[in-house]
Amino acid sequence: MTLRVPKLLKTAVISDDPHLAARFSSAMARKFYYLTVMDGPRMARPDANAEALRRNNALARIEADRVVLTGLSDAQLTAMTDLLPSKVVRLCGASDVESFALKSMVGNKRLIWGLENIGVGLLQALHEGRLIEFENGGPTTASVVGKSRHHVVCEAGNDLAEVNAANYAYALGASLTIIPKVDPKVSEQILEQFYASENGQQRLELQRELRDLCGDIELGSGASLSFFTKQLPFGVGFPAHPSTHIFTYPDCGVSLVNGFAAEQARSRGVNVAVLVDPEKTPAPEIDAATKALPKKRVFVRAYRGKAAEVTRITDMVDHYPYDLLVFATHCGDADGWRWTYEFTDSEGIERQLKVDIAIGIGRTDDDNLLKVVQFSYFHSLDGVDWSDPVAKADLYVGSAIKDYSEWSGREDFEPIHKETLDRVRSSAAMAMFDNNFIPMPVAIAGSSTPIIINNACVSWHELAARFTFANARAYIGTLFPVLPFEAENVANLILDKHWGKPLPEALWLSQVETYGKLDPRRPYVMTGVYIQKLRSTKEDVPRYIMKRLEDGRRHYARQVAHTSEKEQKNMQHVLDYYRNEAAGLHERWLKK
């Protein structure tokens, strides 16, 4: 049974109170529609303005005409109301829930639910057409059955993600099960074991461990799965079923909007593809994509060999208006250093911070100047291991990390000690023609929401979350190394034979046909909402690209004129990128 693509309600809820978000959802959600729920902007971050803009952009994608702001701080309310038209804003509290409900719901008895598994309670209330209320000690269960053969599984530990999972399941007619939160140390161990795994037996054991963490989930023939997960690829534990993953944090609600909005009626298809092959490893999948995609009416641009230098790829990833990006190269954690800082933070507290550092280096137009991207992995603060959640619970972090982020790069803020490391965990460096590319994008594809297929080895672990945060609506990567013939076969099947099918199903079928039904080898993992497809639509693609490049040029021309002297050089570089790309496109495709 093919899942129906839900329409988008033009009403949205922004809240940091999951119980309030669930109560408003019970009043506002409608059958065959998806109701958007997002958390509030994280105002403690240095990029708090960008946090509000991300939510504003997501609201624009659903063409929101009513935005309920509830359970937010004054600073969050100000950040959002400054961006939104006053006519769409509704400042609401718990007493306003009933005003959004259908008359038939208001007369019904409320569904009383406990304080756990609130997503299941919300979905049950939606099925029964009732408003939900939460009480300490109220009844609760961990699962509710839907009408479709799709099953949504949500890892506990983030109540607002459970609300999102319930609205997602309701929109797809799916069942929902809440599974216990996985200890962060266990998650890290599993991912590390996948990263270092060398044989099928090790991976079979890891599959069983993922399946065990999900408990008893009843799946019939033809079932499919969506996992709401903090970081684990649970779907690998269910190789007999197509699956996808949605990260519970950060910006779960934004990710769902990006996926659903792309599949609405009259939305653009996957019309512009970029292929990246630095020629660091055999990449027959790029040749396969070069042949397959034009047959699907897709405009293809390739960066191969020297064209795939770090700076060019960085600029393209961030600014070129692509709908599909395919990488083929090596990927893995880079070597680097451990830097130890001792400083007095802005609260007057003496701190010791150890940070693991990896760098990516790109060329610039100035032969005497290189562009350096620095990746930081926090190792410890005041002697407490940063990856130990139990020890960290008693650690006062205060302003230490924020101060480090703001002071890094200052001449008077230097480490007191440096030591070399063979591996900087989570750095996820991708080999380009000249140096390592360490993707840390804030927005990609000129603020579009593309699909990314990364055939690089072990490319899912960190990069899935980074690219999703940067608004990739779907991301396919690998958990462990793949051989060239595997990469070619999977890519060719996804981009040709299974084109137009829901992307998780296309990926699952491609792996089944590559490895066989009995072979549990499943290196590829998908992130993104289930109903997305690779599909093209009729469009004058060169003119579409030119319009996007011209829009980008005008935006950065304004930015250069109104930014600080410190930022002007970066802004000018991006402005030059848009100008050069537009000139090249005009010469190649639009010149009369």
pLDDT for the residue 370:
80
pLDDT for the residue 592:
67
Range from 10-14, 194-198, 224-228 carrying the lowest mean pLDDT: 194-198
Residue 509's CB: how many other CB atoms inside 10 A? 16
Chain centre to alpha carbon of residue 37? 16
- The dihedrals phi and psi of 477, each to the nearest 5 degrees, come to -140, -175
Q: Could you tell me which residues are beta bridge partners of residue 439?
A: none
Q: What is the pLDDT of residues 375-424, one digit of tens each?
A: 999 999 999 999 888 888 899 999 999 899 889 888 899 999 999 999 99
The three-state secondary structure class of 104 is helix
Report whether 435 contacts 360 (CB < 8 A).
Answer: yes
Q: What is the pLDDT of residues 207-252, one digit of tens each?
A: 999 999 999 998 988 999 999 999 999 999 999 999 999 999 999 9
190, pLDDT greater than 80: yes
Phi-psi region of 186 (alpha: psi -120 to 50; beta: other; left: phi over 0): alpha
Closest CA to 464 of 475, 450, 455, 453: 475
Give me the mean pLDDT over the 67-89 stretch.
Answer: 97
Give 51's contacts (C-beta < 8 A, 6+ positions apart): 41, 42, 43, 45, 79
* Burial class (CB within 10 angstroms; exposed 0-12, middle 13-18, buried 19+) of 107: exposed
- The dihedrals phi and psi of 468, each to the nearest 5 degrees, come to -65, -40
Distance (Å, whole) CA 106 – CA 101? 7
Q: What is the pLDDT of residues 501-531, one digit of tens each?
A: 999 999 999 999 999 887 878 899 999 999 9
pLDDT for the residue 388:
84
Q: Could you tell me which residues are beta bridge partners of residue 381?
A: 353, 384
- The dihedrals phi and psi of 572, each to the nearest 5 degrees, come to -65, -35
Pairing mode of beta strands 436-437, 429-431: antiparallel
Closest CA to 326 of 456, 479, 502: 456
Indicate the length of the chain as a whole number: 592
Phi-psi region of 222 (alpha: psi -120 to 50; beta: other; left: phi over 0): left
Beta strands in 114-222 (DSSP E): 132-134, 143-144, 150-155, 175-179
Chain centre to alpha carbon of residue 59? 17
- The dihedrals phi and psi of 464, each to the nearest 5 degrees, come to -60, -45
One-letter amino acid at 299 equals F
Distance (Å, whole) CA 131 – CA 474? 33
Phi-psi region of 229 (alpha: psi -120 to 50; beta: other; left: phi over 0): beta
Closest CA to 40 of 55, 28, 60, 62: 55
Distance (Å, whole) CA 490 – CA 509? 9
Q: What is the pLDDT of residues 34-74, one digit of tens each?
A: 999 999 999 988 789 999 999 999 999 999 999 999 999 99
pLDDT for the residue 47:
87
Tokens standing for residue 193: 């074991």
Residue 170's CB: how many other CB atoms inside 10 A? 26
Q: Could you tell me which residues are beta bridge partners of residue 546?
A: none
Report whether 43 contacts 79 (CB < 8 A).
Answer: yes
Give 201's contacts (C-beta < 8 A, 6+ positions apart): none
Q: What is the pLDDT of residues 90-101, one digit of tens each?
A: 999 999 999 999
The three-state secondary structure class of 378 is strand
204, pLDDT greater than 90: yes
Report whether 323 contacts 446 (CB < 8 A).
Answer: no
CA distances from 226 to 168, 183, 288, 526 (A): 10, 21, 29, 10
Report whether 427 contacts 341 (CB < 8 A).
Answer: no
- The dihedrals phi and psi of 249, each to the nearest 5 degrees, come to -160, 140
| For helices 74-81 and 48-61, angle between their N-to-C axes, nearest 10 degrees | 50
Chain centre to alpha carbon of residue 65? 25
Range from 4-8, 139-143, 481-485 carrying the lowest mean pLDDT: 481-485
pLDDT for the residue 287:
94
Q: What is the pLDDT of residues 332-347, one digit of tens each?
A: 999 999 999 999 999 9
Distance (Å, whole) CA 132 – CA 54? 29
Distance (Å, whole) CA 257 – CA 55? 10
Sign of CA dihedral 246, 454, 319, 311: positive
Widest CA span in the chain: 74
Confidence grade of residue 1 (pLDDT, cut at 50, 70, 90): low
Distance (Å, whole) CA 280 – CA 134? 56
Closest CA to 428 of 327, 284, 339, 508: 327
The three-state secondary structure class of 519 is coil
Beta strands in 39-81 (DSSP E): 66-69
Percent of the chain surpassing pLDDT 90: 86
Please name the residue ranges forming H helices in 408-524: 463-469, 484-492, 503-515
pLDDT for the residue 220:
85
- The dihedrals phi and psi of 226, each to the nearest 5 degrees, come to -125, 125
Give me the mean pLDDT over the 138-147 stretch.
Answer: 95
* Burial class (CB within 10 angstroms; exposed 0-12, middle 13-18, buried 19+) of 279: middle
566, pLDDT greater than 80: no
Give me the mean pLDDT over the 280-285 stretch.
Answer: 92
Tokens standing for residue 256: 């769902």
Label residues 346-371 b or e (16+ Cβ within 10 Å = b).
eeeeebebbbbbbbbbbeeeeeeeee
Distance (Å, whole) CA 478 – CA 475? 10
Q: What is the pLDDT of residues 95-125, one digit of tens each?
A: 999 999 998 898 889 999 999 999 999 999 9
- The dihedrals phi and psi of 35, each to the nearest 5 degrees, come to -95, 125
Report whether 436 contacts 403 (CB < 8 A).
Answer: no
pTM metric for this prediction: 0.96
